[in-house]
Amino acid sequence: MPSLCRDCLRHAAQPFGRCPACGSRRTVTHPDLFHLTVAHVDCDAFYASVEKRDRPDLLTKPVIVGGGKRGVVAAACYLARTRGVRSAMPMFKALAACPDAVVIKPEMAKYVREGRRIRALMEALTPLVQPLSIDEAVLDLTGTEALHGAPPAVVLARFARQVEKEVGVTVSIGLAANRLMAKLAAERDKPRGFAVIGAGEAAGWLAPQPVSLLPGIGPAMAKRLQAAGFSTLGQLAALSPREAMQRFGEDGPSLAARARGEDERRVIPDRETKSISAETTFEADIAARAALEAPLWRMCEKLARRLKEKDLAAAGVTLKLKTAAFATRTRAARLPQPTRLPDVLFAAAQPLLAREADGTAFRLIGIGAQPLVQAAEADRGDLADPEAPKRAARWAAVEALRARFGDDAVVKGRGLKMGRRE
């Protein structure tokens, strides 16, 4: 069974626990170690790590990156996490759990810049790099062994060392036979991890895990599955394609396949993002148009934020709906001029929704931006809409308030959930 030392990169066909060359205990041993080629790379507590790098005085302190006292946690360092702080947690809760935490306002431009540096290092390893977010990507290193003179596992360990040295943050790597298992492996060993899941062991490893482990199964879906008697992935995995289709519609067979650890998705190097979207699955199906507009508005706000993060703008919108019977409907409209404003996205999606809201019950609504254009083109106003730049400024002010005081600091009435207070 082959082994690899992640510190000095010594590797051998025979297993070793402690590295025979440098004595490090950071070694990895797996029968398929030198055959697996798909890697998922995820930076550890990225925003917090970048801040700690820039302020060494914070190294030993719990650090939270996020809004002010009433905001939410964007990232928490591992020290803060040991005290119970989690991403997306309201700041007051986080501070209750960890009162001595240092709270830092996010500086997105800096994280984007550092994320790009890491991506450049990845692209030196293989052309097949598919970025998933600012600090996360999947790589296919198939066929690169001759080029690098070493198997992918060694190349990846070297890459992790290089990121630590040159960028000053740590990454966790999952190595597996496909994208799904690579992602799950990366999550298994964090931070500064290197986990390997072989093709043969995937199904066995997944079987006892809860269904919510699988990416794509959110809280609403997990509840639905549990209600249908599926609490572990093993139970889902046992379904034949036919049974899966009957129970869960057209997405059923692929759901069961993923529960077995199968994933056919290829790594597509898209350096350019082609579309950005936001969607949400409802706790209970919704048919009424007015009731669908509230989550649509929230998704438009989310999409606007994502566009801002990526420094892009929407030249058109795509409305996505999934019926209670799991049929997907998408409707697209071109925008008169590119935008990053949620109310413009909403105004374009509203008539599309009106045409679809014919009494059908829907389980999911989403809004996508496509095609994408450069942010500089957005909301410049034209002869029929000279106010657009002012509205853009107003929205920027709202976003600034939210960054300081939390997402609930300023809320549009139409975004409020009906019938209950949040």
- Cβ distance to other proteins smaller for residue 3 or 339: 339
- Cβ distance to other proteins smaller for residue 189 or 356: 356
Q: Nearest distance from residue 372's CB to other proteins, in Å?
A: 18
Side-chain half-sphere exposure of 353, counting CA atoms within 13 A:
28
> Token pair for residue 159?
């890459």
Give the range of 27-35, 121-129, 143-151, 384-392 binding other proteins by CB under 8 A: 384-392
Instruction: For residue 129, give the 3-state DSSP assignment.
Output: strand
- Cβ distance to other proteins smaller for residue 262 or 385: 385
Among the listed residues 56, 149, 208, 386, the single contact to other proteins using CB under 8 A: 386
User: Which residues on adjacent β-strands are paired with residue 29?
Assistant: 3
Among the listed residues 360, 385, 414, 416, the single contact to other proteins using CB under 8 A: 385
Q: Nearest distance from residue 390's CB to other proteins, in Å?
A: 12
**Chain centroid, CA 30 distance in Å:** 28
Q: Is 264 a catalytic residue?
A: no
Q: What is the dihedral of CA 264, 266, 267, 270, to 10 degrees?
A: -130
Q: DSSP secondary-structure letter at 417?
A: P
- Cβ distance to other proteins smaller for residue 257 or 335: 335
Report the first-to-last Cα separation within the chain, whole angstroms. Answer: 54
Q: Is 42 annotated as a binding residue?
A: yes
Applying CB under 8 A, what is the total number of residues that bind other proteins? 13
Q: Nearest distance from residue 352's CB to other proteins, in Å?
A: 10
Sites for other proteins among residues 244-273 (CB under 8 A): none
Query: Which residue in the list 136, 272, 283, 301 is annotated as catalytic?
Result: 136
Sites for other proteins among residues 35-54 (CB under 8 A): none
User: Which residues on adjacent β-strands are paired with residue 11?
Assistant: 4
Q: Is 135 annotated as a binding residue?
A: yes
Among 288, 46, 51, 273, CA closest to 171: 46
Per-residue buried b or exposed e for 252-282, using 16+ beta carbons within 10 Å of the residue's own CB: bbbbbbbbbbbbeeebebeeeeeebbbbbbb
Q: Nearest distance from residue 310's CB to other proteins, in Å?
A: 22
Left if phi > 0, otherwise alpha if psi is -120 to 50, otherwise beta: which for 416?
beta
Contact 80, 64 (CB under 8 A): yes
Give the range of 97-105, 248-256, 272-280, 376-384 binding other proteins by CB under 8 A: 376-384
List phi, psi (to 5°) of 87.
-60, 145
Among the listed residues 384, 413, 418, 420, the single contact to other proteins using CB under 8 A: 384
Sites for other proteins among residues 303-362 (CB under 8 A): 333-337, 347-348, 351
Contact 313, 338 (CB under 8 A): yes
Across the beta sheet with 38-43, the strand order is: 129-133, 136-140, 38-43, 171-176, 194-196
Give the range of 15-23, 151-159, 245-253, 377-385 binding other proteins by CB under 8 A: 377-385
- Cβ distance to other proteins smaller for residue 164 or 387: 387
> Token pair for residue 164?
């630590």
* Helices assigned H by DSSP within 195-288: 202-206, 219-227, 233-237, 241-248, 252-259
- Cβ distance to other proteins smaller for residue 210 or 381: 381
Q: Nearest distance from residue 300's CB to other proteins, in Å?
A: 14
Among 294, 378, 285, CA closest to 326: 285
Among 148, 159, 201, CA closest to 41: 159
Cα angle: 315, vertex 321, 324; to 5 degrees: 175
Q: Nearest distance from residue 338's CB to other proteins, in Å?
A: 12
Handedness of CA 392, 395, 399, 405 (dihedral sign): positive
Q: Nearest distance from residue 384's CB to other proteins, in Å?
A: 4
Which sequence positions are flagged as catalytic?
Answer: 136
Instruction: Mark the binding-site residues for Mg(2+), compressed into ranges.
Output: 42, 135
Write out the binding residues. Answer: 42, 135
Residues of this chain that interact with other proteins (CB under 8 A) are 333-337, 347-348, 351, 382-386
